[in-house]
Each structure stands twice: as C-alpha cells, then as structure tokens.
Amino acid sequence: MSNKTPVTAKRRLDYQPPAYQIHDIELSFNLDDEVTKVKSLLHVFKQGDHDQPLKLDGENLTLIEVKLNGKSLQQYELTDEALTLSNLPDECFIEIYTEIDPASNKTLEGLYKASGSYCTQCEAEGFRKITYFLDRPDVLSKYTVTIYADKKRYPYLLSNGNKIDSGDLEDGKHWVKWQDPFFKPCYLFALVAGDFDKLTQSFTTSSGRKVALELYVDKGMAHRGEHALASLKKAMKWDEVVFDLEYDLDIYMVVAVDFFNMGAMENKGLNVFNSKYVLADSQTATDEDYFNIESVIAHEYFHNWTGNRVTCRDWFQLSLKEGLTVFRDQQFSADMGSPVVNRIKNVKVIREHQFAEDASAMAHPIRPDEVIEMNNFYTVTVYDKGAEVIRMLHTLLTPAGFKRGIDLYFKRHDGQAVTCDDFVNAMQDANSINLDQFKVWYEQSGTPELTVEQDFAADTGTLTLTIQQHTPVTLDQSQKKPLYIPVRVEYLANDGSSTTDIIHLTQSQQKLVRDGFDVEPTVALLGDFSAPVKVIRTLSAESLLTIALHSNDGFSRWDAAQTIYSQFIHSLTPNGSTLAITQETITALLDGLLESAMEDQALLAEMITLPSVETLVQQVPKYYVESLHSAREKLERIIISHAQPMFEKQYHGLAFTNYDYTPSQTATRKLRNQLLMYIASTEQGEELVTQQFMQSDNMTDTLGALKAAQHAKCKCFDKLMSQFEETWRADPIVLDKWFALHASRQSEDILSRLDLLMGHQQFNHENPNRVRSVIGSFAFFNSTGFHAKDGSGYRYIGQYLQKLDKINPQVASRIVTPLTQWQKLDEERIVKMKAELVRLLDNKDLSNDVYEKVSKSLGYQ
C-alpha cells in the first residue's frame, strides 16, 4: 500500500513516567556557518529503583563525545533516533558534545538559520534536533545557556530567562549567558541570534515589579512594532484583572522572524513570532491583521501560566494548554472589542474547519488517543473545539465558579506537568460538582447533533421541547456516548419581551417543559453558541425572521440569518431543504435589517454576509460542487437586485476618516467593504471599486476594494493588482495578500497563473508564508479551481506537495488537508483525489507528517 517503512503510532494509554529526570542543563552554543557546536551538561537523577538505561532522543546530530562524571564514555548505543546509556548511577553528570548544521535545516524545526539570523522552534519535538535529551514535556529542568557568535553579524544573543553575564572574545566573537530560574520542559527552550531593531518599553505588575518589554524586529521595521507592544501591555493587565495572574520574570522578549512554520511560540520569556503577527501600520496592515496581532500576542503571553507554569504531562494532553489558552485569548479579544462579532468569528472557525475535520479521516477527540507525528495534532479540534469545551465549563460553572476552579488548578499544579483530567478535577473540586459525564468531551470525537421538536398546548400554555442528542460515528470511533451539553434557550414573546434559560442535556433524549405562556413563544436555541454542536429542527420562515430581527442574543440573530441563507441555497441543490425559505423571506430579512437602523455596524456586516462554501458543505450530506456554487451566486444576485439602492445609500453614508484602529472605525470599514462586495457586481461597481482603491489611506480599504473586484470579476481587477504589486513588491508580508488574491481567483487558467506567481522574485519555496499564500490559498479557498472537474487542481497540489515535503514536511502536511477531505464529493472527484493520495504514498521518502494524514484518509490505518 505504501513504499514507506512502516511507522508506529504512539498511544495515550501507553504513557509511562520517565525513568530519569534531568534537574539542570547547561548548554553552550558556538554558532558558526560551517558547523555549530553544542555542548550540553546534564545533571541526571534516576527515578525509583530500576536498571533501565537512559535513552536520550536525538535526530540529525553528529555526536562527537560523551562524558560521564567528567570521564570520556566509550560504551553507548547510538541510532538515528537515540543515544542510549546503560548502568548509570542514581545521580550523575553527563556531558554531550554534538555538531549541527542550522544553515541547511529547512524544516524550520530545531535550530535553523534563515534571513541571516539563528532561531529555534522546539515544540513539539524539535529539541532533539539540537542535542540529545529526554524530549518530552514531563521532564522539567533549570536551564543555563551560553551563546558564542560573531559580534558584528549577531549583536543580539538571546535565550530564556535573565541575562546573567556577557563578554567579548579576541576573534571578533562575543558571548552572553542566560539563566532561567523556572523549571521548564525542553519544548519551551529558545535561542535567537541576529541583528535587529529593538523597541523597549516596560510594564509594572500589580504587585509593583517592573518588567522590561523588548521587541526585536527586522532592521528598519521598528515603527511597525508599536501595536504589538501596546497589545502585550493590554494582555498583561487583563490577565491580572480577570485571573489574578502576574508575569513572573524581569524581562519579556518577543522576536519577529520571517521564516516560521506557524503563528508564534510561547518560549519562556522569549516568544518567537512569525513577523506577520507582529508588524503593523495603517499602510501595510488591515484591521484583521491588527486584530490577529493583538490576539496572538495575548495568546502567547497567556501561555506563561497556562502552558509554561503548568504544562502538559504528555503531548496527548495538548488541549490542556491550547484549548484553555485559546479560550483565554477569545475572552480577551471580546473584552477589547465586540463580544458578539468575536463570538461569530470563533463559531465560523468551528463550522468551517472543525466540523470538516470531524467529518474526515483525521477525526480525533480534543485529547487524541493515537499519534504518529505530533505536529499533525495542532488542529482546530485540539485548539478551537478544545476552547469550546472550556467555554462550556465556564457556562456551567458561571464565571465566578470557573475562577475558583482556575485558582485551585494553579494552587495544586504550579510547576508541574499534568493532564486534562487534573484540570477538570480542579474545576470539579472547587465547585463541588460531579463532572464525570462532562469528561466525555475529552475522549469522544465527532460533532454532536441535537434534533429538536417543539410542542405547544394552547389550553395550558405549556411549551415542550423534546431534544435528542446523537453523535454520528467517526472514522476513529464507532461507539458514542451521550454528552453533558449546556443549551442556552431564549423564549421570544410577541410583544418583544424575552427570557432565557440554560438546559443541561445529559440523556440521549430529554424533554423540557415550561408553563406560563399566553401564546406560543418563538424559541431560539444555542444562544451564544453554547456548545459545539449542530442543531437540526424545523423552523418556519416567520420564526427565523423573528429571531434574526428581534432576539436579544446577537449570535442568535446572526445564526438565524445564516440559516435563512443556507437553507435557501440548499433548496436549489440536489440536497434540498426541509425549511420553506423563499425569495420573500430573503427580502424580508434584508428590509428588516436595513430599516431597523442597526447600531452595531459590524454585526450588520456579518448578517448580510453569506455563509462560506466550506460552512455550507458541512450542513449537507453531499457536496455538489457546481450546483452549490451556482446556488450561492444566485442568492447573491437576488440580494443585490433587491437591495442595491439601500446598499449604495449606506455605502456612501459611511464616512472616510483618518485611519485609526478603534472598534467603531473597524466596524464601519467592515460594513462598507461588505457592501462594496455586493455593489462591485453592479453597473457602478467598476467605478466605486476603483475610487475606493485610489482614495484609500489604509490597507483595509485597499484590500477591500481588491477583494470586491476579484469576487465580482471586475475588469479593473488586473490593473489595480499591478498597481498594488508595483507599490509593495519589496515588502513580502504585504505582497502575501496579493499572492493570496491571485491564487484564490476563479479563472480558467488558474494553474498557469499559479506557476507565474511562483516565478515571482519574492516567491520562495522555503518560506512558509509565501507557500501558504499561494498554494495554501488555492487549496483551501479556491474551491472551483481546486475541485476542477478534470482533477487538474488535485494533480497540481499533489505534485507540489511531493516537492514541498522534501523541504518542509510540517507545512506540506498542513496543505494536504483539503486533499484528504474527499468524503462528501461525487464519485468522479473522489477517484481523482484518491489517485493523488496514492501517488503521494508511493514516495518512499514521504515524511511521517504527510504519511499519517494521507494513509488515514485512504483508510490504510
């Protein structure tokens, strides 16, 4: 089935505590382009009475020498993956000399050199590419790190903790010594060496300690670092106010680098960031970029407590730190801006991507059971569904109860490596509640479905809701249990008054009876998206309109509008719809929205935005590519032909102002740009798009114009794009937006266009941001191009991934995702997609990363 040497998965239930602990590690690095020398001195303690050997993980290392208690050791076992030492005393010092080659490390994991700087990325298992060590999160050590490098080329030598010494050497080299007073797992180790512009500010914690905040960016980019630093201070303050959590070192450093596999990394005291999540000014960054920077900066900062002070016992527990930290950053963002719009943003991720993951062969619980390559499990399930699970606890326990649980969690586990059960137990014990059934969320994969029936007895005024919960089987699990699901319910009366309730679902079928209604209320379910589930119910168009226009819950309003749009679209495809949504429902919704003079412009923008194709696909059993796209386009035409005058009036009424990143300006720009998306396809479209592009003083409106032109296939698109390219050709982060717009464009000759993009001077196969903006945008967001009937889109991606896998398996494995999600497509496409997957598997050097996803998708494991 595959030419690859079989790889075995690790299983959660096989966990064994480490046979040895390493209390201290002294590392020294001699950074050199030819050969980088790493010396490591480990203070090792045997755990318990046993004679097991010490098996240190190591990959791509050249071992020079090993010493035991100062004496050269000749007896050891060395393989491609480990260095094993036997017959060790209960306590000893082990010195290991190795050599590595950071300049040729294109995987961007371990220690690598890119754009002239040295940089590390160790999570999940990259430390083993730096030196031999127990590369697992339950081995906690104190680190002392000395870095030697050429002073001119690498004036900044950074690592975790506090700088305790430094000096110059005669040969133009210098050195810096760092010490981190906190015990930490090796995945939080970091080293950076390079020449940067540095911004320095400070933050005084609630207990009065002054912390130095240092931001390192590429030369000439300092002015683009202000927003990130301001965001950091907001996050530090917020965590003190909301969770009583204070920062614990005297210095907090953030370094922005161009070559990075993901968003950012929370290394203790030394975060490393993809520069895309640091650099911003109004000319180059959109409102969304500003938002993302604030949220990622906060996310990494929040990890200092949820992840670093209390870490994971093993990688299966990843959601312990990620689900919780995503929940924390979502709460922070909600407090900084609009809670409703943030909630909608979170829910879109779940419905577009997490539901798709559940429906694929990669379905896994938020705490996975089996893993081949850990990097494949930094998923929307572990992160975003994980955050939803934490949010349900927050709902069930109330914010005050949740805070009691968090306090107990830190009291019990500060300085430890623990499990998801430890977290839930702290929540349970602090609130004297039994959460046994709630724990099923951690072990069960799949998207639960709630089927709801509503009954009203007019004579008694009694309303009965009958709710069945059912989790369809997933490819990884054939048995499903009932879950503990909080469902927020709102009863809307005819006079506009409303009351809310939370139903605690625990059984497969449950009845909820409520008396005291004069007339049957309209019932909105799953307010604020109180659980990551799908709701199946038959609602009249009238009830949906009532919820969309009158609910007190902004999320429910948006959700009802989305249901109206979705069901209208599905009714035009072979999937059909059980709801009777007609063109009149659509126009009544638009009229209601536009006439109600909604104050929340951002919510209005969301409410006139149609569900994405990806979201629509997750609502139906089959993805009829052509018919779904044309149905969605038809709805767009209906909307514009009805609302054009109102949209234009609104568009012109929303004033241009001097750019500032404030919630109110952001909301206005969001609405204007959404209106422009519609208007672009009308007669005035070309002119308005061009005008907005020309007059814009900020990247949000510039990009808004380009997106509208691309979507409406305006003639001006190519001209505006060339102008954009001319302005920004020397600025790769900005140019990524241009790459992405080209790659997601619907056009017959898209594949030759992709070739051209990859021939662009700024394109570089070794830079993940470039690859994601061209290849990722095509595979994930160009659904007509990717799903071209002749299979050419699949072929293109398959061939590209063969090459990319040899350079950067982590990025290749991310981009292979759409190729593995064939389950809902038609037979012809399934055959073509699978052929591509089989071709990939034919490659005997395929990385474990891509192998795991592809072989699962083909049902081989």
Catalytic residue IDs: 300
> Is residue 180 involved in binding ligand B3K (CB under 6 A)?
no
Site string for Zn ion, 288-327 (x = CB under 5 A): ----------------------------------x--x--
Q: Which lies closer to Zn ion via its Cβ, residue 95 or residue 357? A: 357
Choosing among Zn ion, ligand B3K, none, which partner's interface includes residue 373 (Cβ < 5 to 8 Å by kind)? none
Q: Which lies closer to ligand B3K via its Cβ, residue 318 or residue 640? A: 318
Touching ligand B3K, residues 377-416 (CB under 6 A): 378
Q: Which lies closer to ligand B3K via its Cβ, residue 378 or residue 763? A: 378
**In the block, residue with structure tokens 């990551």:** 532
Cα–Cα distance for residue pair 309/418, rounded to 1 Å: 11
Choosing among ligand B3K, Zn ion, none, which partner's interface includes residue 333 (Cβ < 5 to 8 Å by kind)? none
Choosing among ligand B3K, Zn ion, none, which partner's interface includes residue 262 (Cβ < 5 to 8 Å by kind)? ligand B3K
Stretch that binds ligand B3K, among 259-267, 413-421, 487-495, 553-561 (CB under 6 A): 259-267
CA atoms within 13 A on the CB side of 827: 0
Which tokens belong to 5? 């040497």
Q: Which lies closer to ligand B3K via its Cβ, residue 31 or residue 262? A: 262
Q: Which lies closer to ligand B3K via its Cβ, residue 302 or residue 794? A: 302
Site string for Zn ion, 320-359 (x = CB under 5 A): --x--x----------------------------------
658 CB neighbour count, 10 Å cutoff: 8
| Distances, alpha carbon 642 to alpha carbons 462, 590, 646, 685, in Å | 40, 9, 9, 16
Render 307-327 in DSSP notation, one character per residue. TTTBEESSGGGHHHHHHHHHH
Cα–Cα distance for residue pair 849/663, rounded to 1 Å: 40
Shortest CB 262 distance to ligand B3K, Å: 5
Touching ligand B3K, residues 353-382 (CB under 6 A): 375, 378
Q: CB of 83 within 8 A of CB of 90?
A: no
Shortest CB 319 distance to Zn ion, Å: 10
> Is residue 265 involved in binding ligand B3K (CB under 6 A)?
yes
Which tokens belong to 120? 């590390």
Q: Which residues contact 473 (CB under 8 A, 6 or more apart)?
A: 446, 479, 480
> Is residue 262 involved in binding ligand B3K (CB under 6 A)?
yes
Question: Over the Cα atoms of the chain, what is R_g?
Answer: 28
Shortest CB 303 distance to Zn ion, Å: 6
Render 15-62 in DSSP notation, one character per residue. ----SEEEEEEEEEEE--SS-EEEEEEEEEEE-SS----EEEE--S-E
Q: Which lies closer to ligand B3K via its Cβ, residue 112 or residue 647? A: 112
For 683, list phi and psi in degrees, rounded to 5: -60, -40
- Helix runs in 654-767, H state only: 663-679, 685-695, 699-711, 717-728, 732-743, 750-758
Q: Which lies closer to ligand B3K via its Cβ, residue 264 or residue 270? A: 264
Stretch that binds ligand B3K, among 276-284, 297-305, 476-484, 710-718 (CB under 6 A): 297-305
Cα–Cα distance for residue pair 391/325, rounded to 1 Å: 11
Q: Which lies closer to ligand B3K via its Cβ, residue 253 or residue 524? A: 253
Render 802-844 in DSSP notation, one character per residue. HHHHHH-HHHHHHHTHHHH--TTS-HHHHHHHHHHHHHHHT-T
Residue 434 CB-density burial (10 A; 0-12 exposed, 13-18 middle, 19+ buried): exposed
Stretch that binds ligand B3K, among 162-170, 246-254, 261-269, 676-684 (CB under 6 A): 261-269
Q: Which residues contact 114 (CB under 8 A, 6 or more apart)?
A: 108, 257, 258, 259, 766
Shortest CB 227 distance to ligand B3K, Å: 19
Cα–Cα distance for residue pair 710/719, rounded to 1 Å: 11
CA atoms within 13 A on the CB side of 13: 2
> Is residue 125 involved in binding ligand B3K (CB under 6 A)?
no
Reduce the secondary structure of 55-71 to three states and give it as a string: EEECCCCEEEEEEECCE
- Looking at the DSSP bridge assignments, the partners of residue 165 are 177
Choosing among Zn ion, ligand B3K, none, which partner's interface includes residue 76 (Cβ < 5 to 8 Å by kind)? none
Q: Which lies closer to Zn ion via its Cβ, residue 379 or residue 855? A: 379
Stretch that binds ligand B3K, among 12-20, 264-272, 513-521, 598-606 (CB under 6 A): 264-272
> Is residue 528 involved in binding ligand B3K (CB under 6 A)?
no
Cα–Cα distance for residue pair 297/300, rounded to 1 Å: 5
Q: With contacts defined by CB under 5 A, how many residues of the chain interact with Zn ion?
A: 2
Shortest CB 263 distance to ligand B3K, Å: 6
Using CB under 6 A, pick the residue from 26, 214, 281, 300 that binds ligand B3K: 300
Cα–Cα distance for residue pair 777/258, rounded to 1 Å: 19
Reduce the secondary structure of 726-752 to three states and give it as a string: HHHCCCHHHHHHHHHHHHCCCCCCHHH
Distance, CA of 99 to chain centre: 34
Q: Which lies closer to Zn ion via its Cβ, residue 322 or residue 358? A: 322
Residue 407 CB-density burial (10 A; 0-12 exposed, 13-18 middle, 19+ buried): middle
Choosing among ligand B3K, Zn ion, none, which partner's interface includes residue 123 (Cβ < 5 to 8 Å by kind)? ligand B3K
Which tokens belong to 531? 């659980």
Q: With contacts defined by CB under 6 A, how many residues of the chain interact with ligand B3K?
A: 12
- Looking at the DSSP bridge assignments, the partners of residue 260 are none
> Is residue 814 involved in binding ligand B3K (CB under 6 A)?
no
- Looking at the DSSP bridge assignments, the partners of residue 200 are 214
Q: Which lies closer to ligand B3K via its Cβ, residue 123 or residue 214? A: 123
Site string for ligand B3K, 213-252 (x = CB under 6 A): ----------------------------------------
Using CB under 6 A, pick the residue from 123, 135, 239, 606 that binds ligand B3K: 123
Shortest CB 575 distance to ligand B3K, Å: 36
| Distances, alpha carbon 334 to alpha carbons 56, 331, 344, in Å | 44, 5, 11
Cα–Cα distance for residue pair 738/725, rounded to 1 Å: 7
Cα–Cα distance for residue pair 368/374, rounded to 1 Å: 10
Shortest CB 378 distance to ligand B3K, Å: 5
Q: Which lies closer to ligand B3K via its Cβ, residue 299 or residue 770? A: 299
Shortest CB 307 distance to ligand B3K, Å: 7
Shortest CB 292 distance to Zn ion, Å: 14
Stretch that binds ligand B3K, among 84-92, 296-304, 546-554, 764-772 (CB under 6 A): 296-304
703 CB neighbour count, 10 Å cutoff: 24
> Is residue 266 involved in binding ligand B3K (CB under 6 A)?
yes
Which tokens belong to 672? 């204007």
Choosing among ligand B3K, Zn ion, none, which partner's interface includes residue 61 (Cβ < 5 to 8 Å by kind)? none
Shortest CB 810 distance to ligand B3K, Å: 6
> Is residue 322 involved in binding ligand B3K (CB under 6 A)?
yes
Stretch that binds ligand B3K, among 47-55, 258-266, 721-729, 794-802 (CB under 6 A): 258-266
Choosing among Zn ion, ligand B3K, none, which partner's interface includes residue 265 (Cβ < 5 to 8 Å by kind)? ligand B3K
Choosing among ligand B3K, Zn ion, none, which partner's interface includes residue 635 (Cβ < 5 to 8 Å by kind)? none
Q: Which lies closer to Zn ion via its Cβ, residue 383 or residue 484? A: 383
Using CB under 6 A, pick the residue from 94, 124, 157, 628 that binds ligand B3K: 124
Strands, E assignment, 406-484: 417-418, 449-457, 462-470
For ligand B3K, the binding residues (CB under 6 A) are 123-124, 262, 264-266, 299-300, 303, 322, 375, 378
For Zn ion, the binding residues (CB under 5 A) are 322, 325
